[in-house]
Homo-oligomer: A and B are copies of this chain.
Amino acid sequence: MALMSPKLSPQDCGECPIRFQAVCSRTEADELARLEKIKYYRSFQAGQMVIWSGDRMDFVASVVTGIATLTQTMEDGRRQMVGLLLPSDFVGRPGRSTAPYDVMATTDLVMCCFRKKPFEDMMAATPHIAQRLLEMTLDELDAAREWMLLLGRKTAREKIASLLAIFARRYTGLKQLATKGAVAFDLPLTREEMADYLGLTLETVSRQMSALKKDGVIFSEERRHIVVPDFDLLANETGDDTDGGLVG
């Protein structure tokens, strides 16, 4: 079933929404042309598994649109999300043949894929790809370490606020910075997925969301739609250094 994703018509890399952020962003015209020849798209519906942990994985890919999750599961069923893949993020590791995590599409998802072998060959030949991949991997490592602080030391309320702040920042970046601190967005995760990401139970997530609502930090009529009236208010709940340490 998971393999019956509809084939998309090949799309011009020049039009690609992640052209300047993805692993290909540094490539020169000729390099990109070669990549373009070996790429193929796959799309997944919300809720579909992209790959199961332990499965053979003979491709690497960039997320073009949509959101996917990386999750680890223990024998007894405890689950921890270890990564959230947003557009331009990269999945798969050159030089490894089985998937270390479950990858699931949480929204409808389009991925730009390369079979592993040709991609590895390209990487050996074009340092621009390896360079960008190193940079992206270092960024992910930083993000993972920030998440370690969240998982190890933050309270439930701080965890929720931190996650909301991440989404808020993301959507603000795209939309208005104008509205003087107000942001609105749709949560791309269920309560359970949020819990798996934050190391909580879904009940605790729900309760803390209610508490933040009660305290006026967020508003939300339609379950998944979040309005943050004042971003600074939310930021103050994350436990993070508020004003980046710079002189005022």
Contacts and interface: CB of A to CB of B under 8 A. Distances in A.
A75 B241 contact: yes
Contacts of A185: none
A13 interface: no
A178 interface: no
Interface string A231-247: 00000000111000100
Contacts of A199: 151-153
Interface size, A (range): 35 or more
User: In the complex this chain forms, how many copies of it are found?
Assistant: 2
A239 B141 CA distance: 24
A200 to B, nearest CB: 8
B245 A54 contact: yes
A80 B245 contact: no
A93 B145 contact: no
A86 interface: no
B151 A152 contact: yes
Residue picked from A79, A137, A240, most chain B C-beta under 10 Å? A137
Contact of A80 (B74, B79, B133, B153): B153
8 contacts: A72-B146, A80-B153, A100-B145, A134-B137, A137-B137, A144-B144, A144-B148, A151-B152
Interface of A: 54, 70, 72, 74-76, 78-80, 82-83, 93, 95, 100-101, 127, 130-131, 133-135, 137-138, 140-142, 144-149, 151-153, 198-199, 239-241, 245
